[in-house]
A = this chain, B = another copy of it.
Amino acid sequence: MKTLRVDLGYRSYPIVVGKAVLRRAGKILCRLGFSSPPVIVTNSLVWRTHGAALLASLEGSFGSAAVIGMGDGERFKTHESLLKIYEGLFRAHADRRSWILAFGGGVVGDVAGFAAATFMRGIPYASVPTTLLAQVDSSIGGKVGINVARGKNLIGAFHQPSAVLSDTEILTTLPDRELASGLYEVVKCGAIRSAGLLHYVDRNLSAILDRRSGPLGHVILESSRIKAEVVSGDERENDLRMVLNYGHTVGHALEAATSYRRFKHGEAVAWGMIAAAGFGRELGMLASDDVRLLVRLIHAISDLPSLRGIGLQDLWNALKRDKKFRAGSIRMVLLQRLGATEIVTDVSPSHLKRFLRTFLETGGHVV
């Protein structure tokens, strides 16, 4: 079990990573200063599989906790779920001294975190993320929120958790595709900040895919450390935090162009990283060997859903709706080499569009 600290002044918080973190959750949270039972927000699937273990652990330290269930999946990241959580909090007689424990994947974390940000003007929350993606990405950094008809994450807040508890063993029940989806965000962390992490994933891929605790713990800790460092430097997402969006410009557009049905988020980001790497090489920024290693590693993790049938214009229209896409020129995070980024502020739209045409036509071959 290892602990790292996200450094945000008086809102700093620890991330605890390791085996059996779930079973020790009560003790860990108690030691972190929580003294009353939490209100747990979770989804039905996670609760069925791991609820008993969490409850048992919490009961030892806090007595019994109230549980609020919500649906599983992105389509539940809505106002309705949020109102349901508020109602559950009232029913549990929660007040401004209460706290929420988010127990689930990214959707649970985002909605429960937003409920915590806004219930009685803000109560604390802690996260026990149950997917690799949530462990290495969405649970860290304080971005919480919901989707609305107009788009994803358009309503939300910045609200830092009081603690994140990442259990490696909980990932043994995670579906393969979810695990891979999270690994792509690990690859992203390596790509932007640590060639060493990329090489580690490369060397230990089969052990990671076998869900061995040691290597999983290592990549979770390293990715969390990278995300935490970036977030500490720039909590409110200006320039520094933008590097976390590597692969996301095209990734988000691929998700939107396929109505969020074909790709998991991590898979879309994987294609987005391949596109960004290929485009970076075209701009003379990234060496061919680096592109090849990154692309090979991404494809070694799992088979990505194909790009077949995605129209250039649909992709382009989705790109143009992106929050970071400004009229005239495009800001894009690109790699200088594995582990080092550059924010290019004057990407030529026509050049990018030409590149994406070939990218789609070749089914995503850039090397």
Show the binding face of A for B, using Cβ within 8 Å: 79, 83, 86, 90, 95-96, 117-122, 143, 145, 148, 150, 153-158, 323
Contacts and interface: CB of A to CB of B under 8 A. Distances in A.
A90 B120 contact: no
A119 B156 CA distance: 6
Contact of A158 (B86, B121, B148): B121
A5 B311 CA distance: 54
Contacts of A118: 118, 145, 155-157
- Copies of this chain, count: 2
Contact of A86 (B96, B122, B155): B155
A113 to B, nearest CB: 11
A121 B145 contact: yes
Given A86-B154, A96-B323, A118-B155, 5 more contacts: A118-B157, A119-B154, A119-B155, A120-B156, A121-B145
Given A79-B83, A118-B118, A157 B157 contact: yes
B96 A157 contact: no
Contacts of A119: 154-155
Contacts of A121: 143, 145, 153, 156-158
A83 B79 CA distance: 10
Contacts of A86: 148, 154-155
A111 to B, nearest CB: 13
A143 B122 CA distance: 11
A155 B155 CA distance: 14
8 contacts: A86-B148, A95-B323, A118-B118, A118-B145, A118-B157, A120-B323, A121-B156, A121-B157
Contacts of A155: 86, 118-120
Contacts of A156: 118, 120-121
Contacts of A79: 83
A122 to B, nearest CB: 6
A349 to B, nearest CB: 18
Contacts of A143: 121
A159 to B, nearest CB: 9
Contacts of A120: 154-156, 323
A119 B157 CA distance: 8
A83 B158 CA distance: 19
